[in-house]
Structure 1
Amino acid sequence: MSLISLSHAMQDTLPFLPKNNPFPPLLPPHHHDFPLLSRPKNLHFPTFSSRTITPTSLPPKPHPKIPQIPSTSPPPPMPPPNSHSDFQEKMLYLESIGLDFFSLIEHHPPIIFASLHDLKSTVDFLASMSFTTLELRRILSMCPHILTVKSTSLLPIFTFLLREVHVNGSDLKKVINRRPRLLACNVETQLRPTLYFLQSIGISEVKKHTSLLTCSVENKLIPRIDYFQKIGFSHRQTISMFCRFPPLFNYSIKENYELKLNYFMVEMGRDLREIREFPQYFSFSLENRIKPRHQICVEKGVCFPLPALLKTSEVEFRSRLEVCCNSTLPLKGSPLWCAKACDI
């Protein structure tokens, strides 16, 4: 059967087909408006498989050009401060003023990292304050920490001593020679707070006890006041002793207070009242002064008050002891015995 005959037969069977179109529409509804494009004869379409396709036929897309940033590489490293040449220069410089470089760094290793310029500036500043080479050698040997203090930090210390502690200008060198560590302390965090504390408990002339300025209030001064209160003295009595004898702050609790107090109460059998009246007792050597003189007094059967026992020279002590042994000396329990019983 021909296509035309088949079309007529379908029109008879399916009357809804259009009669002017011998072929049924091959596209869904609403798609018949788009014209069918004929395939160009010279165009060849690529064939595709079921695998993932990578369009290799297309030229690669060029990458955008990144602007070139100027090189910011760091400069070549500087030689370390403890290089061989710098180390040798510092050693030669310090030895030229009479200081043992290796002894200094043993006690204060940061000197290794200090620049030669800073070391010279510190030494030159101290020399400008009229310290002789011999004095500088002694000061820096006693306290090598001073060498790592900037010269700009030394001037506030001298100003503080002159204006706030009221040290006389003529005594300034003497103060530093007696306590070189003053030059290694900070005015704001150590020297001034200690000054205010000492003044607050009644020590008005701190200039006579400048060595106390290097002490820590929390770690040294207050614990010593607390110790005397624990052994039986009132706060008022304790403060009175420290005000009358401020060097009491300098002594160690374990190596001084405890040992001497134990000997005073156990071996000597004396009353704490004598310590309150004569706190200088702790300033004398236990082995070289206190024990020998007490033992001699025990052998001779005499009892000296603490000032007569300890303050006098050896010659004067022997002389007083001889006088007391050759005369009638009131016994300790006698009403005639007093602090000046042998003060002759």
Structure 2
Amino acid sequence: MKAFTSSLFRTSDSLSLFAAPSSSSFSSRTQISFPQRLFLCRAEIDGSVSLVNVPANLLVAEKEEAKAVLHMYLTSQGMNRLNAARKMKKLDLFIDHLLLRLHTVYKTRYLVGRELTTPEIRDALIPYLDELLEEHGDDFVEVLEYFPIPLVKDKSEETEQKVSSNDIENSTTRVSSIEPTTNTKKLTASRASNIGEPNLPPHVVYLEELGMERDVIKEVIRKFPAFAYYSLEGKIKPVVEFLLDLGIAKSDIPVIISKRPQLCGISLTENLIPTMAFLEDLGVDKKKWAKVIYRFPALLTYSRSKLQSTVDYFYELGLSSQDVGKVLTRYPSIISYSVEEKLRPTAQYFDSIGVNPAVLMSRCPQAFGLSIETSLKPVTEFFLQKGYHIADFALMASRYGALYTFSVEDNLLPKWEYFLTMEYPKSELVKFPQYFGYSLEERIKPRYEIVKESAVRLLLNQVLSLSDEDFYKLLKRKVKKKNACA
């Protein structure tokens, strides 16, 4: 745990949070003082920040996005999503503070009436949270929870002592015009309930015209409340029209928005288009943007640093620039995986059993999204139990990484049992592990029965991988040759 030293309490770089106590009631408390920069976004009389003229709907939307950023940050530091959601309920004061900080950082944007985009909010808050984490170390979460009250360090009766409301008023200024802690849920609920009324909000009418079901719109707002406050003309419509221009079908727009409503909070000229250009430089096929965005619209909402760090790891694995481009195009959701918590441990597992992680990544990147314990190990153990050496299985997995995406009980086992009746040596599966990718009832059994009736022998690859036309041509030649030799 990062130690708090006397330097944290210097009068020159911190603000007093409380009036001098009249008794020794706080004598055993260890106070965490907050540096002045923590309070730069207070509303001051000198007019440095004014929220009076900011529309209430924008304040609510920005607060929801600030909450989303903070929740994401807590999970990125190792807190699971459920605990992070519970902790967020205790951080209203700090979230208000983050909102005020936004209005200081982007003061000029508000002066010209410009809405903040999702990346702008994220870019302003994440570096600030990084600074607080670096300063307070293991006490980071407690600092946020007790904001702006000094953290109680000693476990005594005084730990339960409540600070009076007068002390809190003296310690900091909450801007009453925002009222996010009491009204945010009511306002959001009101927006969602209004969807069922005759006079629908214009963005709801627009989305319904695109084919988006009203229940889906309600669900989007429930999961991402800020969407209810997005401007139709300023945010939603420009993004939708841009997606249509890329070649995305109108019928796919509702799916994309429901998957990632934050996409509509991104500025086209300042964020979305530059991010696409950045990804194209990394190898994403510009001709396939429609498919890429439909598969994983969240790709365009990640920060440049996140995108670059994942790509850097691909190079570290040994992928070529061409392979990187193919991976990002074919399986863009790979970007959502943490390098240290997901990609690297999975690559280390593959390496430990003799499978080249770079080869597997280029051929089957989705294998890196599977759980090592519940998906990868059971598949490996299944083939080892069937008598294959680890080197043979490593060859099978390298040739056909999709093996790891199949269920042992529902796919591998029934196809294995049928394979044992096909009179092929087990080595045939080492040569052609793609066998497990074909339908047992619609491909494997019908084709093999035809081969048996013809009384000829074909390689497993020839039985399954050829088109119907080529399969029957080959079968005819084999039968003709057999008859000629008879």
Superposed CA offset, 1:34-92 (max 9, x none): xxxxxxxxxxxxxxxxxxxxxxxxxxxxxxxx9x9699343422787234344664431
Of 271, 285, 291, which aligns to 1:138? 291
Of 184, 197, 204, which aligns to 2:349? 197
The aligned counterpart of 1:249 is: 404
Q: Structure 2 length normalisation: TM-score?
A: 0.46
The aligned counterpart of 1:265 is: 420
The change in CA–CA distance for 1:260 and 1:137 in structure 2 (over 3 A counts) is same
> Is 1:215 aligned with 2:370?
yes
Q: Distance in 1 between matches of 2:472 and 2:355?
A: 36
Q: Distance in 2 between matches of 1:256 and 1:157?
A: 32
Q: Distance in 1 between matches of 2:370 and 2:363?
A: 11
What SS class does the counterpart of residue 202 from structure 1 fall into? coil
Q: Distance in 1 between matches of 2:348 and 2:172?
A: 57
Deviation at 1:95, TM superposition (A): 0.8
Superposed CA offset, 1:170-205 (max 9, x none): 443222111111122221211222222223322334
The aligned counterpart of 1:333 is: none
The aligned counterpart of 2:173 is: 72
The aligned counterpart of 2:240 is: 95
In structure 2, give the amino acid aligned to 1:84: Y
In structure 2, give the amino acid aligned to 1:307: N
Of 278, 291, 295, which aligns to 1:128? 278
Of 438, 452, 458, which aligns to 1:304? 458
The aligned counterpart of 2:440 is: 286
Q: Distance in 2 between matches of 1:124 and 1:224?
A: 41
Of 300, 303, 306, which aligns to 1:150? 303
- In terms of fraction of residues, the more helix-rich structure is 2
What SS class does the counterpart of residue 415 from structure 2 fall into? helix
> In the comparison of the two structures, how many residue pairs are matched?
260
Q: Distance in 1 between matches of 2:351 and 2:418?
A: 33
Q: How does 1:56-67 map to 2 (within 5 A)?
A: none
Q: Structure 1 length normalisation: TM-score?
A: 0.62
The aligned counterpart of 1:176 is: 328
The change in CA–CA distance for 1:129 and 1:270 in structure 2 (over 3 A counts) is closer
In structure 2, give the amino acid aligned to 1:121: N
4+ residue runs of structure 1 moved beyond 6 angstroms? none
Q: Distance in 1 between matches of 2:368 and 2:171?
A: 57
Deviation at 1:287, TM superposition (A): 4.2
Q: Distance in 2 between matches of 1:234 and 1:133?
A: 43
| Matched-pair contact (CA < 8 Å) for 2:235–2:266 | no
Of 165, 185, 188, which aligns to 2:337? 185
The change in CA–CA distance for 1:303 and 1:70 in structure 2 (over 3 A counts) is closer
In structure 2, give the amino acid aligned to 1:157: T
What SS class does the counterpart of residue 241 from structure 1 fall into? helix
Q: Distance in 1 between matches of 2:298 and 2:416?
A: 35
| Matched-pair contact (CA < 8 Å) for 1:82–1:113 | yes
Superposed CA offset, 1:114-150 (max 9, x none): 7714786355312233257653332121013334433
Deviation at 1:260, TM superposition (A): 1.9
The aligned counterpart of 2:265 is: 116
Superposed CA offset, 1:226-268 (max 9, x none): 22234444545433432454342233334431332233235x3
The structure whose Rg is larger is: 1
The aligned counterpart of 1:164 is: 316
Superposed CA offset, 1:263-305 (max 9, x none): 3235x35554533453232133434432232121122233323
Deviation at 1:219, TM superposition (A): 3.2
The aligned counterpart of 1:323 is: 477
| Matched-pair contact (CA < 8 Å) for 2:432–2:460 | yes
Gaps of 5+ in 1: 1-65, 330-344
Q: Distance in 2 between matches of 1:123 and 1:148?
A: 11
| Matched-pair contact (CA < 8 Å) for 2:240–2:253 | yes
For the aligned residue pairs, the C-alpha RMSD in angstroms reads 3.7
In structure 1, give the amino acid aligned to 2:177: P
Superposed CA offset, 1:155-179 (max 9, x none): 2112222x31333224432221111
| Matched-pair contact (CA < 8 Å) for 1:86–1:116 | no
Q: Distance in 1 between matches of 2:444 and 2:372?
A: 30
| Matched-pair contact (CA < 8 Å) for 1:182–1:214 | yes
| Matched-pair contact (CA < 8 Å) for 1:209–1:246 | yes
| Matched-pair contact (CA < 8 Å) for 2:415–2:436 | yes
Q: Distance in 2 between matches of 1:75 and 1:257?
A: 62
The change in CA–CA distance for 1:229 and 1:200 in structure 2 (over 3 A counts) is closer
In structure 2, give the amino acid aligned to 1:260: K
